[in-house]
Amino acid sequence: MEQKANTFLETERLGKLMAKYAVPCVISLLVAALYNIVDQIFIANADYLGSYGNAANTVVFPLTVVALSIAVMIGDGCCAFVSISLGRNDKEAAHNSIGSAVLLCIVSGLILTAIYLVLQEPILTLFGGRVNEETFRHAKEYFFWITLGVPFYMFGQALNPIIRSDGSPKFAMASTLAGAAANIILDPIFIFVFRWGMMGAAAATVLGQIITAVLAVWYLCHMKAVRLEQSSFRFYGSLAKKYLPLGICSFLSQISLVMAMAAIQNMTLKYSAVDPIFGQTKYTQIPMAVLGIVMKFFQIVISISVGLAAGCIPVVGYNIGAGRKDRAKSLFTRLLAAETIVGAVALLIVEMFPRQLIGIFGAANESVYYTEYAVKCFRVYLCMMVLAAVNKGTFIYLQSLGRAFASTSISMVREVLFGVGFALLLPRWFGLDGVLYSMPVSDMLTFVICVIVIRYTYKALDCGEKRKPEHE
């Protein structure tokens, strides 16, 4: 009988496997998150852009998340399906699903780019871009150039988990690092030396995304566990029906975040206008700019949380496919512990060092109202980071088990029902502060649901589990 690929996923120590897969995945996602964050740091510290540029960056950010949501649906779903297929020694399904996913990603990237270019102004308006004319002008400039890089961004992000499923998490990390390094080098050159403003920030980002995409194409030609054939690059509808549902949680988690951002940004715009301080024209953009910065820090923490969980997908998927529920259960315990630690460290940072955090984003060039509101945002909006990290890890772990419906349902409850709902309701009673309360309230209620799901998952993994070998 032909030997299965990636058999080490069933035999190697779980701690070693988690480090091997999760750490590169965390770094990859962190680096991907840094694209927009690095742009915002350099924009904020350019005196000719300042808080207007910051606010414009905040407006555009959710629209890059839309592109990411489609990419991760394809990539994470394909990653989970490929891992399960390899665990079952079904190599044909593995290579055909990868080829199909590549084509789907390219087509969807081109379609999204066309939509963005045609509907630019109404889209930016929907996300609060008309807070004032200066912000809107910067947002249009940044959005146009960022849009041109959408196909490359989506391709790189979709291929990243697929490369991990092939047993090459380090290459996935390196390709993302290469693109981010280019962005970090080019941002100050384009913004401060050439003084290209928002166009310069966007151009640096797009060039970095192109580098990552090119490296992903190279890897497709040199895969290890899965060998692609010419026949692989067709759209297999039967396979898409299997791998897309496994990635739907990743999609909905991201796209619902966009919905929450739209609600939050519009409520911020609405209630800033009636605030005695921020209702003044020269300060109107401050809440939008500050909230964007706080969201960026949250994105960093969640990138770590998601990376830890997503890094486990190939390991869990393979072991479930091989009938090793005991290893899947043990890995779940390790994951929950790691998520708790990540959330606790993040909480300490935002509660103890908010002024230092906001200082990175050009606070020295802004009014005292900017700093005071930023400190408040960090300490209130992110006060339930521990629960947020555990919640996110649970969502993605369920995805790795192939429990797409359960994962999707909980994610939707958190992001749409709670996230959007409380962002719209709480400001009615608490004004601008109500926007800040929406995040911790949503995470507390979601955690109650997650506790029930965690207990059920442990019981399911106990059912029929194999005895662990002594070395594990």
Q: What is the mean pLDDT of residues 332-354?
A: 94
Higher-confidence position of 399 and 390: 390
Higher-confidence position of 362 and 221: 221
- Specify the DSSP element, H or E, that contains 237: helix 237-272
Q: CB–CB of 142/123 below 8 Å?
A: no
- Res 57 pLDDT > 80: yes
- pLDDT on residue 448: 95
- Dihedral of CA atoms 178, 59, 149, 298 in degrees, nearest 10, equals 30
Average pLDDT over the chain reads: 86
pTM (2 decimals)?
Answer: 0.78
- pLDDT on residue 466: 52
- pLDDT on residue 365: 61
Look up residue 277 and give its amino acid: I
- pLDDT on residue 11: 66
The string of pLDDT tens digits covering residues 189-204 is: 999 999 999 999 999 9
**Of residues 19, 292, 363, the one with CA closest to residue 131:** 292
- Res 324 pLDDT > 90: no
Q: What is the mean pLDDT of residues 238-253?
A: 81
Q: CB–CB of 268/299 below 8 Å?
A: no
- Res 3 pLDDT > 70: no
The string of pLDDT tens digits covering residues 106-162 is: 999 999 999 999 999 999 998 888 878 888 999 999 999 999 999 999 999 999 889
- What is the band of 471 on the pLDDT scale with cuts at 50, 70, 90? very low
- What is the band of 467 on the pLDDT scale with cuts at 50, 70, 90? very low
- Res 285 pLDDT > 60: yes
CA distances to 129, 295, 389, 454 from 440, in Å = 26, 13, 12, 20
- pLDDT on residue 1: 42
Determine the longest span between alpha carbons in the chain, in angstroms.
75
Q: CB–CB of 56/142 below 8 Å?
A: yes
Q: CB–CB of 326/467 below 8 Å?
A: yes
Q: What is the DSSP string of 118-171?
A: HTHHHHHHHTTGGGSHHHHHHHHHHHHHHHHTHHHHHHHHHHHHHHHHTT-HHH
Residues 6+ apart with CB under 8 A from 51: 44, 285, 286, 289, 362, 366, 370
- pLDDT on residue 166: 84
Residue 416: exposed, middle, or buried by beta-carbon count in 10 A (0-12, 13-18, 19+)?
middle
- Tell me, what DSSP letter sits at residue 227? -
- Res 88 pLDDT > 50: yes
- pLDDT on residue 148: 97
- pLDDT on residue 363: 60
- pLDDT on residue 472: 44
Q: What is the mean pLDDT of residues 169-194?
A: 91
Residues 6+ apart with CB under 8 A from 218: none
Q: What is the mean pLDDT of residues 197-219?
A: 95
Rg (CA), the chain: 22
- pLDDT on residue 275: 82
**Per-domain boundaries in the chain:** 14-462
Q: What is the mean pLDDT of residues 17-25?
A: 80
Q: What is the mean pLDDT of residues 438-443?
A: 94
| Alpha-helical regions (H) of 166-226 | 169-188, 197-220
